[in-house]
Structure formats: C-alpha cells, structure tokens
C-alpha cells in the first residue's frame, strides 16, 4: 500500500485557482503594472456548475489544508475526513491542498523567474504549503498523481506571478488535465483564459506546441 494511501478521494480531481494581487509571491507586487488590474482577486473553481459524483446526494463541505510535503498533506487530509465523520459532519468533505505555482515554458526558465522574484526580498520566499516550480506538463502530472494516490480530493493553485503563470495554467495545464479525464467547466476555464491574457504585450501567444516535461 502506498504511504500516501491514507484516505481515498471521494470523486474526480477538483481544481481551483486562487488569484491574489500581482501573485502569491511577495516579490510580485514590485513588478505589478497595468497588465494585471489590482482589483482582480478571488477564487475560481473549475468544477463550478458541474454535476460532480462527490457532491451527489447529501451535504458537502470544502476544507483547505496547508502542508510542507505530500506525506503531511495526506495525513492532514485523512484527519479532516476522520474528524468530519466522527462529528457527524457533511456526507461529503472535499479536501483541497494549497500549492504555490511557478511554471514557464521550461524548468530552467521557471527557476530563473522565481530567483528574480526572490531577489527583491531579503531572503527567498518559503510558501506556507506545497510549491511547484517547473513546466505546465509537470504540474498536470503532479496533480493527477496527487489525486490518484489519495493525498487530497483536489488543489488550490496559487500562481506566484500574474498574469504569466495563470496564462500557462489556463492554456497548457488545464487542457492537459481535461484530456486526461478531469471534468472542467467551460465557463470557468474561459474566464481564466481571458484573465491570463491580460498583458501589455500585444503579441499573440501560441499554446499549440507540445511542452517539455
């Protein structure tokens, strides 16, 4: 049995995105400009409006967790489900783990972008929960693996820099997840794509080519 197989998810992978200021990395605020209006913040649930099996028949509750690694995330997720069951809570508890995200066309570019943001601070930023630095393809693989081994029911993706990271999430990562069978709301996906293209650069971006792992 996998060391992560502590409490199986109760439905398909649930993907949400949380927008905050110019990005969740504190150094992003220094780069903020008219590419990203400061009043655009909030939570976008890519499963909103869909008939999800995990929500069928009975009350449902969403619980967000933070964890420094996957093992701790699985343990906290299992604890939430056990506590809800013991307390006679909702019939369905959807546990979402927070992941700070920095992705680019290739992994070296993502690491370089993160280093540039960290350079604005006195010391490198350490997120409160999990983080991923790499490619859109790698992020998609992490999310499907995280769900399949029972770490959590879903994720709260927190782009470190907006709109660049959101653009890659919306045009590259999410379509890959959808192709893998993860249900997506077309309306919500369209919203993220419109937000991800809020750049000062008028040049169109080609998202049709395959990305490196």
Identify whether 7 is part of a domain: no
CATH number at residue 89: 3.20.20.30
Give residue 63's domain range. 14-196
In the predicted model, is pLDDT for residue 94 greater than 70? yes
Identify whether 4 is part of a domain: no
Burial of residue 179, with CB atoms counted within 10 A of its CB: 0-12 exposed, 13-18 middle, 19 or more buried? exposed
Identify whether 9 is part of a domain: no
Identify whether 64 is part of a domain: yes
Predicted pLDDT at 186: 92
Identify whether 175 is part of a domain: yes
Angle 158-160-164 from CA coordinates, rounded to 5°: 105
Phi, psi for residue 68 in degrees, rounded to 5? -75, -20
Identify whether 212 is part of a domain: no
Name the residue with higher pLDDT: 41 or 158: 158
Mean pLDDT of 176-202: 82
Spell out a b/e string for 35-62, using b for 16 or more CB atoms within 10 Å of the CB, else e: ebeeeeeeebbbbeeeebebbeeeebeb
Q: Which of 74-78, 115-119, 192-196 has the lowest mean pLDDT?
A: 192-196
DSSP 54: G
Mean pLDDT of 5-18: 75
Identify whether 208 is part of a domain: no
Name the residue with higher pLDDT: 53 or 42: 42
- Tell me the C-alpha distance between 154 and 50, whole Å: 15
Identify whether 58 is part of a domain: yes
Task: Name the domain count of the chain.
Answer: 1
Mean pLDDT of 103-120: 96
Nearby residues of 109 by Cβ (< 8 Å), 6 or more positions away: none
């Amino acid at each position: 049995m996998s060391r992560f197989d502590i409490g199986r998810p109760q439905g398909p992978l649930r993907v949400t995105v949380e927008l905050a200021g110019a990005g969740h990395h504190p150094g992003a605020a220094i780069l903020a400009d008219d590419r990203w209006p400061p009043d655009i913040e909030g939570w976008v649930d890519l499963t909103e409006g869909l008939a999800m099996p995990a929500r069928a028949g009975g009350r449902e509750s969403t619980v967000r967790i933070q964890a420094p690694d996957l093992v701790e995330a699985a343990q906290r997720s299992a604890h939430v489900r056990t506590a809800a069951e013991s307390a006679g809570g909702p019939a369905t508890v959807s546990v979402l783990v927070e992941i700070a995200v920095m992705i680019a066309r290739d992994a070296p570019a993502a690491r370089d972008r993160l280093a540039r943001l960290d350079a604005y601070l006195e010391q490198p930023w350490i997120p409160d929960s999990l983080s991923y630095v790499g490619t859109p393809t790698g992020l998609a693989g992490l999310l499907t693996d995280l769900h399949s081994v029972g770490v959590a029911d879903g994720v709260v993706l927190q782009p470190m820099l907006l709109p660049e990271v959101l653009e890659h999430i919306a045009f590259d990562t999410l379509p890959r997840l959808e192709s893998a069978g993860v249900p997506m709301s077309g309306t919500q996906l369209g919203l993220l794509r419109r937000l991800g293209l809020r750049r000062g650069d008028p040049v169109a971006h080609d998202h049709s080519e395959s990305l490196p792992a």
